[in-house]
Amino acid sequence: MRSHEDFSPPGRIGQGREIASYGGRARGKDSAVRGIAEGSRPIVDRGVSRRDTAAAAWLAQSGVDVRANGAFRIVADTLCSDGVDVLRIWHSPARLHRTSAIGPGVRLIIPLEGAIVIQPDDPAALEVRVAPGDIAFLHCDSPFTIVTDTPSARTEIALDRPLLGLVDSADRGAVVTEADAASRGILLSTVNATFGSTLDADSPAFPLVRAAVEQLAGAVLATSLPRESSEDVYTRALALIAAMSTDPRLSVQEICERLGVPKRTLQRTFARNGTTVFDEIRRARLTTARALLSGSDSPPSPEHVLSSYVRSQRLRRDLLHLEAVPASKLG
């Protein structure tokens, strides 16, 4: 029996309930075709169902070219906002080529049903097979093709500003590893709950939900990526900073105590990665504060844990500081 975070693809359920069981609201045939990368406006699109040329046209809007030997069908849900793109998709057998995106982002590919083969465009990169229970990480600026011989269901998440980078930034292929079961389950449950809800992109809660998905994807990166032992402290520290971004106790000393490492060791580890502990704390708090402010025309209520931060000059100071630092030095 599949776990609750997965879903039933079309063909295993009764006619007329295919979209509803997938977690989305069915759209009429006259609904406008929208891709998963429609400008910078936040998007939540549920229950997208397309066949053949209409399916190919919808995917093409997000940089995916489809080649199928026979009839082709997709059922998909999407969420796009502020550097986070989530695609939950079922499709019939095909070759799907995704073009490269600009920037240092990371794409997570999480198969739910049916194994897939990832073929990087780089001839020096290896072709890899990814099965349910595994997870693949790729650089967003590396084009690749997904090949499926059977119907495939999976969740893909692209992060423009990942909390963690890939092990070898020069490797243009896919990093495949067994997914950490706990963090994978929490991430997929959150994604599925979002698509199964009535939350829309105009809701004041939407920026916080987007931020939650981003941080949970970062948790999957932290717990699933293979890392060299010298990176363990850095990986755990970044994950802890992200998890404590709304905690007033978050400080360099608190991180040292929780990780059980000397302050100098922690500082040297961050310096080797081109950043500082304090900068990453500021970055995490600023990300959460931005999400709060973008979801409302007024600051949060006084009892909110970040109220004093978003109401003070410190937020403006941190914003100016981080904008002055090259992105490559921010982790």
Bridge partners, residue 77, by sequence? 88
pLDDT tens readout for residues 86-95: 999 999 999 9
Percent of the chain whose pLDDT exceeds 90: 33
Task: Note if the pTM is more than 0.75.
Answer: no
Q: In angstroms, rounded to a whole number, what is the distance separating the alpha carbons of residues 31 and 5?
A: 28
Q: In angstroms, rounded to a whole number, what is the distance separating the alpha carbons of residues 123 and 113?
A: 28
Helix (H, G, I), strand (E, B) or coil at 169: coil
pLDDT tens readout for residues 263-306: 887 888 888 888 899 889 888 887 777 766 655 555 544 444 45
CA dist list (Å): 322 to 170, 314, 326? 25, 12, 8
How many Cα neighbours within 13 Å face the side chain of 106?
A: 24
- Identify the structural domains of the chain with CATH numbers, from first to last: 18-223 (2.60.120.10), 228-329 (1.10.10)
End-to-end CA, the chain: 40
